[in-house]
Amino acid sequence: MAVPGLFRVGHDGSLVLPVMSIESVGWGGRIRSGWVSGMSWNVTLRWLLWAGLSAHAAPVDVLTYRNDGLRTGRALSETLLTPANCNTNQFGKLFSQPVDGFVYAQPLYLGGVTIPGQGTHNVVFVATEHDAVYAFDADNNQGSNSVPLWQTSFIHPEAGITSQPIADYGLSDLPATELGITGTPVIDPDAGILYVVARIKDASTPVPQHHQILYALDIHTGAAVLGSPVEITAVIEGTGAGANEAHQIIFDPYYQFQRCGLTLLNGIVYIPFASQGDLGFYHGWVLGYDARTLKQVQVFNDTPDGGDGGIWMSGGAPAFDADGNLFLSTGNGSFTANLGQRDYGDSVVKLAARTGGLAPVDYFTPYNQAVLDQLDGDLGSGGVLLLPDEAGSAAHPHLAVTGGKDGTLYLLDRDRLGHFSTNIVGAALQAVPNGSKIFGTPGYFGGRIFMSGVNDTVKAYRISNGQMETHPESVGSVVFGYPGSIPSVSASGATNGILWTVQADGFGRSAPAILRAYDATDLSVELYNSEAAGDRDRLGLAQKFSVPTVAAGKVYVGTGMELGVLGLFPPTRLTAALAEGGTRVKLTLEGQPGHGYTLQYADTFDDPDQFWYTFGTVNLQSTSTTLSLPFPDGKAGRFYRAVRVE
C-alpha cells in the first residue's frame, strides 16, 4: 500500500496516517480531518510538501505536418499548458529517447494505440534520416517504456542496403551525414496506417542502385502492410530537362529529394519531390498513391517542358481546402504558364485531382519571377498557409499566405490566385515586406500570422476582414540566424495561446536545438527557453526546419539522435510501502528533475514544531527515484518527509 505526502509507517505494516490532501503549496497547507486508531485529529503544518495530483489532458492527435490541412500549426485543445505555467520552475524536459539518426520530420502523435502484448499507449512516432521509424510511449520512459514500443528499419547495412550518404553528391550538411526519411509521414487513424517514404542506397551490386520507397506501416506493430514496400516511379510526356528521345521525362530517384511532408486527402497519399542540391536533371513532382492499394493514381510535374521547379517548402506539406484542392509553392525553375504553357517555376500552384492526373487549376507568380530564378531566390522556400475563414472578408473569404527567399509575405485570394502580373504587388492582394528570408510555413492563431525569418526575430502580423497589417503587432527579442524557425501554437480554444518555435541556427556547429515559448498575444514576452535552466532541459543537436509538436500537455522536439519530450513537471510526491516482510521501507520520490531534496524522519508528530532528523539528500535526475531503507526495530511507527532545496 502507498500513501502520497507525509506519512507514518507502522512496524506491523499499517500506515498510520490517512492520505493527505494539500490545499495549497508552501506554508499553510492543511491536512484534512480523519480518524486514526479511534482518535480524530486536525493539524495545520507550517510547511508541507506539494502533493497535488496532476491533471490529464484528453489526447489530441497530430497526424500530419503542422496539425491540419490548412497547415496552421495550431493545437487548439491544449488545456494544460498556459502562459502562466510555461516557465522554468514548472515546465521543462521530462525525458528523452535516443534514436539512430537526425530527425528532420515532425514527430506525430496518436492517443490510445493498442500495442500487442504491451497494452494501450499514447504514442509519438519519430522518423529518422537513418531510415527508421520509432513508436515511443508519449508520456514517460520508465520501465518497459524505456525502449521503443516498436521500431522498424528499412536498411540492412551488412547486406549493402543503407541510407543515402550526403557525400555521394559532393555535398556536406554537417553534422548530418545521410538522407533517409526526410518528409514528415502522415497517419490514417481509421485504417491504423502510417505512410512514409524512405530513400535507399543498394550497394550490393557492382553499380549501386538508388530507390525512393513508399511504406505503409501498421501503427500497432510497425509491420509493412498493403503490399508495401512500393518502388516510387513516374513517367510523363515532356520535352524538358532529362527528356529522352521519346519525349518522356522519367522520375530519377537519385537526384529527386523527398523533402516535403506527405498529404493524405480523399483516399490518396500525395508525395512531393524537389532536387538534391540542385544537381542533375530535376523537376518538381507530386505523385499520388491510392491509400488502400498503394497504386499510383496521380502524377504532376511542374516543369515538363523546362527544368527545375523543385517542390520542397523547407519541409512543408501541400495544404488543402474543403473542396479537395491542393496548394503548394515551387522553387526556381522555368516559368511559361503566363504564355499558356505548362511550366510553373517560382509559383503558388492550386491543383485538383482529375481522372487524367493532377491538374493545375489556378496559380500565382510574383512579378519578379525571372530575377528569383536567376538569383536562387526560391518562392518555394516557404510553404503555403491557408487561413481560416475568420481572417477573410466578404469579397475575399478564402485567403492564403506564403513567402520565400526575397522576404515578401504574399496575401492571396485562393479562389482567384490571379496568375502573373508585372506590377510590384503582382496578382496578390497584398505584398508585405518581412525584411528577412523566409524558410518554412507561417503560423496562425487569433487573427495573427506568425513568421520568423533569417537573422530576424519572431513576428506577429494582425489580419482581419481580409486585410493584413504591414508592420508587426509584436516581435520577439531573440534574433534567429539561418534558417529562422517554423512556429506552432497551442491554445485552449481562443485562450492561453502560446507560440512554440525551435531555434535551429546552431545546426552547422553541432550546437543544441533551443525550444522557445512566447505569449502568442505579445511576442515580447518570452515564457520559456530550453537553455535557461542550463543542462537540465538541454535538447539534442539542432537540425534545420524543425517543427515542435504540441499534444496533451507535452511538446515533442526531434533533434540530432534524440527525441526530446518537455512538459509540466509532476507535483512533488513522496510515497511509501513496506517491503521484505516488513523489515524495510521503500520510499519513492517524484518531482522536478534537477532539483535537490532533503529526506527527513521523525518518530512522533504531535507538535507542529517537531524536530526532523535528516538522513539523506536526493538530486532527481529523472522524474522519480526509489530508495530502500531498513525499518527501525522497536519502533511502532515513523514519519517521513522530503523538503525541496530551494
- Is pLDDT above 50 for 43? no
CA dist 273 and 203 (Å) reads 23
- Is pLDDT above 80 for 250? yes
Domain identity same for 579 and 563: no
SS3 of residue 509 by DSSP? helix
What integer is the mean pLDDT of 591-606?
78
- Is pLDDT above 60 for 287? yes
> Beta strand 34-36 with 554-568: parallel, antiparallel or unpaired?
unpaired
Domain identity same for 207 and 255: yes
Sort 287 into a burial class: Cβ within 10 Å, 0-12 / 13-18 / 19+: buried
> What is the structure's pLDDT at 469?
97
Where residue 355 falls among pLDDT bands split at 50, 70, 90? Answer: confident
* Structure confidence by residue, pLDDT tens digits, 162-208: 999 999 999 999 999 999 999 999 999 999 999 999 999 999 999 99
Domain identity same for 94 and 30: no
Domain of 167, CATH number, reads 2.140.10.10
What integer is the mean pLDDT of 440-464?
97
> What is the structure's pLDDT at 573?
80
Helices (H), 396-541: none
- Is pLDDT above 90 for 585? no
115 or 634: which leads in pLDDT: 115
- Is pLDDT above 90 for 85? yes
In Å, how far from its chain's centre is CA 376? 29
- Is pLDDT above 80 for 42? no
Where residue 354 falls among pLDDT bands split at 50, 70, 90? Answer: confident
Of 501, 536, 568, the last residue of a domain is 568
Domain identity same for 23 and 135: no
Domain span holding position 191: 74-568
- The count of domains in the chain is 2
Residue 1, in any domain of the structure? no
Of 534, 568, 602, the last residue of a domain is 568
CA dist 156 and 612 (Å) reads 60
Question: Which of the residue ranges 436-445, 536-545, 591-600 would you say has the lowest mean pLDDT?
Answer: 591-600
- Is pLDDT above 80 for 474? yes
- Is pLDDT above 80 for 58? no
> What is the structure's pLDDT at 635?
63
Where residue 607 falls among pLDDT bands split at 50, 70, 90? Answer: low
What integer is the mean pLDDT of 13-19?
32
Of 568, 594, 618, the last residue of a domain is 568
Measuring CA to CA, which residue among 351, 245, 380, 332 is closest to residue 288? 351
44 or 293: which leads in pLDDT: 293
Question: Which of the residue ranges 44-58, 305-319, 476-490 would you say has the lowest mean pLDDT?
Answer: 44-58
- Is pLDDT above 80 for 561? yes
Question: Which of the residue ranges 88-92, 556-560, 633-637 would you say has the lowest mean pLDDT?
Answer: 633-637
14 or 552: which leads in pLDDT: 552
* Structure confidence by residue, pLDDT tens digits, 503-560: 999 999 999 999 999 999 999 999 999 999 999 999 999 999 999 999 999 999 999 9
Residue 492, in any domain of the structure? yes
* Structure confidence by residue, pLDDT tens digits, 477-506: 999 999 999 999 999 999 999 999 999 999
Domain identity same for 388 and 510: yes
> What is the structure's pLDDT at 81?
98
Contact 151, 132 (CB under 8 A): yes
Torsion of CA 330, 333, 339, 341, to 10 degrees: -80
Q: Which three cell numbers stand for residue 190?
A: 481509421
> What is the structure's pLDDT at 268?
97
Q: What is the DSSP letter of 39?
A: E
CA dist 626 and 160 (Å) reads 46
Residue 549, in any domain of the structure? yes
* Structure confidence by residue, pLDDT tens digits, 401-416: 999 999 999 999 999 9
Residue 69, in any domain of the structure? no
Where residue 646 falls among pLDDT bands split at 50, 70, 90? Answer: low
Domain identity same for 554 and 497: yes
> What is the structure's pLDDT at 634?
64
Domain identity same for 526 and 557: yes
- Is pLDDT above 90 for 63? yes
> What is the structure's pLDDT at 602?
83
- Is pLDDT above 90 for 17? no
Domain identity same for 548 and 576: no
> What is the structure's pLDDT at 373?
96
* Structure confidence by residue, pLDDT tens digits, 130-166: 999 999 999 999 899 999 999 999 999 999 999 999 9
Where residue 600 falls among pLDDT bands split at 50, 70, 90? Answer: confident
- Is pLDDT above 90 for 3? no
Domain identity same for 286 and 376: yes
Domain identity same for 41 and 88: no
**What is the gyration radius of the CA atoms in the chain, in angstroms?**
28
- Is pLDDT above 50 for 288? yes
Where residue 608 falls among pLDDT bands split at 50, 70, 90? Answer: low
Measuring CA to CA, which residue among 646, 586, 593 is closest to residue 619? 593
Domain identity same for 15 and 139: no
Residue 463, in any domain of the structure? yes
Sort 425 into a burial class: Cβ within 10 Å, 0-12 / 13-18 / 19+: middle
Stated as kind and residue range, the H or E segment containing 369 is helix 369-374
Residue 419, in any domain of the structure? yes
DSSP assignment string, 185-224: -EEETTTTEEEEEEEEEE-SSSS-EEEEEEEEEETTT--B
Domain identity same for 583 and 557: no
Residue 2, in any domain of the structure? no
Helices (H), 297-368: none
> What is the structure's pLDDT at 605?
66
Within the chain, what is the greatest distance between any pair of CA atoms?
Answer: 98
What integer is the mean pLDDT of 596-601?
85
Measuring CA to CA, which residue among 124, 153, 157 is closest to residue 141? 124
CA dist 387 and 400 (Å) reads 6
> What is the structure's pLDDT at 4?
31
What percent of the chain has pLDDT above 90?
77
- Is pLDDT above 50 for 452? yes
SS3 of residue 391 by DSSP? helix
> What is the structure's pLDDT at 606?
65
Residue 451, in any domain of the structure? yes
